[in-house]
Amino acid sequence: MSDRGLSVSGLTFQIGGRTLFEEIDFDIAPGEMVLLCGRSGNGKSSLANVLNGYFPENGGNVKAGHIKLDGKELQHLSVQERSWSVRTIFQHARLSFSMKTLREEMVFCLENAQVAPDEMNAQIEEKARHFQLTYLLDRPFDELSGGELQRAAFVCADLVDAPLYILDEPFANLDDETSRIYMDYIKKLLQRGKAMVVIDHRLDRWEWAERWLLLDKQGCLHDLSLVSPEKKKELLQAEGVLVEPPSVERRRNNESQETVLELEGVHIAHTEVKKRSFFRKKRETMPLLDDVSFSLKKGTLAALIGPSGKGKTTLFKSILKAMPYQGTIRIGGEDIRNLKPADLYSKVGIVFQDPSLQFVQTKVLNEMVLSVRAWKSAEEGREEAAARELLLEHQFEEQLTKSPWLLSQGQQRRLAVLCMTVGKQQLLLVDEPTYGQDAQNAKKIMDKLTELCRAGITCLFTSHDEGLVEAYADEIYQLKDRKVRKQR
């Protein structure tokens, strides 16, 4: 290839005693987008982090003939030095930020770019308007939904005019309408001559992309643009990143008359910060959900859908009494206001949008043992054996002694779901259960939730994957215009 664009030769990466990929070569030309696909845990995010310099600066061993961008060798540049040439939107968008709010983050980026102070505010306001995110400028990142964090990451990535962009699961927490807006943004970057690496498990979004690279479980990289469509499909299926969708006939009619979850006239508001100047702020209370009323019967697998940042995760928090609300929420006929925290958590389990917040042990096996023991889902003395069996069944044989925080996002999600589904809860709340999952593992997670519901647990999950919702949900509730309405 020419001196322009990205060129990688003989790249090998080892971490934790494992070689994730070995002697791989690839090029990306200016204006070209490459979709990097593969099973969860195969090393896609690690490859992205080698390119942006996070590795080996933060661990692991990297060897390469060269890693060049526009003819410039990147290997000896730090993460900060590379950030002017390589812009990354991380799979976990919160990791993209150093400051507390989007405005502060944008100021930080512009300061590093040596933009004149008297020009910053105008640039910030213009970018926020362009991405329709003015309302997020002064809200703390810790209060934002996963989708809002991803949208904020796009804004910050656009502040620096870099030749290479790496997007790791960029649409995982975004609704389809917002995803289409940002897809148009991606195509405009390509038209401007930017090289781009996109990591995604939703292959259907990228049919228009000419080049797909498959990173297999042996650490080999396959350029699928060099094989026939039939061979491409064969390789994707063999790696478990392309599976036949489940039939909608798997849905079942729920004949139970026992109500597990009941919401009656629930109102939820959040406090929004309005910035009048750099030093003056005004707080306003804004309605988020208004007069929400619905109920779920025992054994129901229900989906809660709706645009990003409109209150789905907040509703989950209210059901756990972690967010103030007005109205009535009952679990098994009991008003949750009358339940002590221990009693409430014995009835309701949750898998967070960010699964890493749930872990308390330093090893995967110990985390699973703790859950088995806490929920008494195995005979005394057999907790470790039961935990090990569950982990091996879900392909964690190589991660048993690894820290949960060192797993890939997809592996963390699977572990969190597994830990929370060994109990005897009446209600399970699962926020984006298949986020960061390849097709095979997404199917396993949803099949597990279906199995639990058939055994009598009630489950309410959020998702932006319309096909998955259609295939698995017994009932669908849509959050729109601050209301929750039953669609099916």
β-sheet bridge partners, residue 164:
86, 195
C-beta separation of 239 from 217 below 8 A: yes
Q: Are strands 475-480 and 301-305 parallel, antiparallel or unpaired?
A: parallel
Residues 136 and 420: their CA atoms lie apart, in Å, by 32
Residues 75 and 66: their CA atoms lie apart, in Å, by 7
Residues 291 and 479: their CA atoms lie apart, in Å, by 12
C-beta separation of 475 from 303 below 8 A: yes
Closest CA to 292 of 312, 318, 266, 331: 266
Residues 175 and 144: their CA atoms lie apart, in Å, by 15
How deeply is 313 buried, as exposed, middle or buried, from its count of CB atoms within 10 A (0-12, 13-18, 19+)? buried
DSSP 340: -
Three-class SS state of 156:
helix
Annotated active-site residue in 32, 148, 239, 432: 432
End-to-end Cα spacing for the chain: 53
**φ and ψ of 450, to 5 deg:** -60, -45
* Residues recorded for the chain: 488
| The residue to which tokens 């509703």 are assigned | 315
**φ and ψ of 368, to 5 deg:** -70, -40
Residues 174 and 176: their CA atoms lie apart, in Å, by 6
- Per the annotation, the verdict on 432 as an active-site residue is yes
β-sheet bridge partners, residue 476:
303
C-beta separation of 466 from 303 below 8 A: no
Which residues are annotated as catalytic? 432
